[in-house]
């Protein structure tokens, strides 16, 4: 990595000088010079080589860190600064306002911005950053009350996945003693919010509704869900402000490491191989800088592929532990990044797919993934009115951009960086699946039927 840093210091002023001289022809020369070492990378005329990207301190920001540290951005003629942001609202605002050229973002954020919930903007997703990666953790006190309700195996160990039925008597106990049961999630349109709601509702526990007048999402709630930024989750749990939370790594494993809480379920078990974070740019940026958008996507796809080589995970842990990235202890990050996940202290289990960055077409922005988020926004009332069946597909196609991904992947295949067989033949929709903790069928081409299949949540009439 030291060689890379020296190389960046040498080339960066040159890029500024050439940019000052004017002309895309000069900028392309920089791209070609940088690519001399790899010889396999095809030069694109880069409209904007100097870029600033944002992220939140979570392990699933890894593709950005790896694309920078392993030189994949530089191979594309891109000179990228990667900056940690304080919270998800700040991430969204800074991308919309042009202070960031793009960012690691919650999958629901660009979708909500396009669907009219919260701040509205035209954002696009050309790259899905990962699958899985989240967990639900409860305090030690709550776990001690839940544990007797959890089925055990022949060795007396909890049988996973643990369903929220085990939590239901605990919630009732708190309510009977006059204490509302409080849990945290990271943002109203985060995967975490929808996952914890799904887990609770599958056990008949009402997680609350949103309305146009009440944006807290706590109407009729048996569990009060509130927003806490990811790095603050363990401290908030330890302080007793919340009794559990849903968050990405390393903040579930941090609770185990500190001895303050127990992860009880992962989102792999709530929705197997679910999409988690995405990389987002504004529609205007992509229109003004189409080659740059493709080049960024190329570098990120390569990073995802590098990350899913098991032999690279130990190095990835070291990189992510650096203060400018996640900044958590290597041991905490390694607990989930190297094929295992620790639940109760000492109960470490094999979970090779807890963090997926490339396999299972993880980087492809499937329309069906985006439609699932839209169904949850409607189910819980963030989308206030009924929509037509066609609206779901039309809305997501303005946001998810597999065309950019396909161009990037096609170039990588020509260059020999990925096999052509890794480019899926798809209309953007995954097949219908029952890979959810309650076995409910999700068919993205039948979103209203899916919404209506749940006993808790809004119901719609097919239009």
pLDDT in tens, 42-74: 679 999 999 999 999 999 999 999 999 999 999
Q: What is the mean pLDDT of residues 73-101?
A: 97
pLDDT at 6: 36
Question: 3-state DSSP call for residue 157?
Answer: coil
pLDDT digits (tens, 9 = 90+) for 314-353: 999 999 999 999 999 999 999 999 999 999 999 999 999 9
Residue 134 — very low, low, confident or very high, per pLDDT cuts 50/70/90? very high
Residue 23 — very low, low, confident or very high, per pLDDT cuts 50/70/90? very low
pLDDT at 41: 65
pLDDT at position 442 over 80: yes
pLDDT at 463: 59
Residue 422 — very low, low, confident or very high, per pLDDT cuts 50/70/90? very high
Residue 38 — very low, low, confident or very high, per pLDDT cuts 50/70/90? very low
Kindly report the backbone phi and psi dihedral angles of residue 329, in degrees, each rounded to the nearest multiple of 5, phi listed first: -60, 145
Six-digit token string for 115: 């669907």
> Among 1-10, 197-206, 235-244, 288-297, where is mean pLDDT lowest?
1-10
Kindly report the backbone phi and psi dihedral angles of residue 54, in degrees, each rounded to the nearest multiple of 5, phi listed first: -110, 165
pLDDT at position 35 over 90: no
pTM of the model: 0.90
pLDDT digits (tens, 9 = 90+) for 368-408: 999 999 999 999 999 999 999 999 999 999 999 999 999 99
Which candidate, 190, 180, 188, places its Cα nearest to that of 244? Answer: 180
Residue 27 — very low, low, confident or very high, per pLDDT cuts 50/70/90? very low
Q: Which residues contact 41 (CB under 8 A, 6 or more apart)?
A: 35, 75, 76, 415, 417
> Among 20-29, 254-263, 328-337, where is mean pLDDT lowest?
20-29
What domains sit in the chain, N to C, each tagged with a CATH number? 2-131+276-338+355-365+400-422 (3.40.190.10), 134-274 (3.40.190.10)
Six-digit token string for 413: 């295949």
Q: Which residues pair with 245 in a beta bridge?
A: 137, 184
Please classify residue 13 by burial: count the beta carbons closer than 10 Å to its beta carbon, then call 0-12 exposed, 13-18 middle and 19+ buried: exposed
In this structure, which long-range contacts are made by residues 146-153, counting pairs with CB atoms below 8 Å and at least 24 apart in sequence? 146/170, 146/264
16 vs 54: which has the higher pLDDT: 54
pLDDT at position 310 over 60: yes
pLDDT at 461: 81
Q: Which residues contact 142 (CB under 8 A, 6 or more apart)?
A: 167, 170, 243, 244
pLDDT at 43: 77
125 vs 117: which has the higher pLDDT: 125
pLDDT at 3: 42
pLDDT at 15: 39
Q: What is the mean pLDDT of residues 216-229?
A: 96
pLDDT at 378: 97
């Amino acid at each position: 990595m030291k060689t890379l840093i020296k190389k960046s210091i040498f080339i960066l002023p040159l890029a500024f000088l050439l940019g000052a001289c004017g002309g895309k022809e000069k900028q392309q020369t920089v791209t070609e010079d940088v690519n001399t070492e790899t010889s396999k990378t095809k030069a694109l005329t880069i409209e904007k080589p100097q870029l600033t990207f944002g992220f939140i301190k979570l392990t699933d920001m890894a593709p950005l860190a790896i694309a920078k540290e392993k030189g994949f951005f530089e191979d594309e003629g891109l000179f990228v600064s990667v900056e940690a942001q304080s919270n998800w609202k700040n991430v969204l605002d800074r991308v919309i306002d042009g202070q960031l050229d793009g960012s690691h973002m919650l999958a629901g954020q660009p979708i909500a911005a396009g669907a009219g919930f919260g701040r509205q903007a035209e954002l696009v997703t050309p790259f899905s950053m990962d699958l899985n990666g989240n967990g639900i953790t409860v305090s030690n006190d709550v776990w001690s009350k839940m544990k007797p309700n959890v089925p055990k195996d022949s060795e007396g160990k909890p049988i996973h996945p643990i369903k929220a039925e085990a939590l239901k008597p605990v919630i009732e106990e708190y309510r009977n003693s006059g204490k509302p049961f409080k849990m945290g999630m990271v943002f109203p349109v985060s995967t975490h919010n929808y996952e914890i709601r799904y887990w609770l509702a599958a056990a008949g526990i009402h997680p609350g509704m949103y309305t146009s007048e009440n944006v807290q999402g706590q109407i009729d709630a048996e569990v009060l869900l509130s927003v806490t930024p990811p790095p603050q989750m363990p401290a908030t749990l330890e302080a007793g402000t919340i009794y559990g939370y849903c968050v990405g790594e390393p903040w579930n494993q941090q609770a185990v490491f500190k001895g303050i809480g127990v992860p009880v379920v992962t989102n792999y078990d709530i929705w197997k191989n679910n999409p988690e974070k995405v990389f987002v740019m504004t529609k205007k940026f992509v229109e003004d800088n189409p080659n740059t958008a493709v080049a960024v996507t190329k570098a990120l796809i390569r990073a995802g592929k590098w990350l899913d080589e098991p032999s690279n995970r130990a190095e990835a842990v070291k990189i992510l532990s650096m203060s400018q990235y996640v900044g958590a202890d290597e041991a905490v990050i390694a607990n989930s990044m190297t094929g295992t996940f620790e639940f109760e202290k000492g109960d470490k289990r094999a979970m090779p797919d807890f963090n997926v960055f490339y396999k299972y077409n993880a980087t492809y922005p499937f329309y069906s993934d985006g439609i699932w988020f839209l169904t949850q926004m409607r189910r819980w009332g963030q989308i206030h009115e009924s929509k037509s069946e066609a609206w779901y597909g039309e809305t997501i196609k303005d946001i998810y951009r597999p065309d950019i991904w396909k161009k990037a992947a096609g170039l990588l295949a020509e260059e020999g960086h990925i096999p052509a067989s890794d480019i899926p033949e798809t209309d953007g929709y995954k097949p219908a699946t029952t890979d959810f903790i309650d076995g409910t069928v999700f068919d993205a081409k039948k979103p209203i039927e899916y919404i209506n299949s749940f006993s808790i949540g809004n119901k719609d009439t097919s239009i």
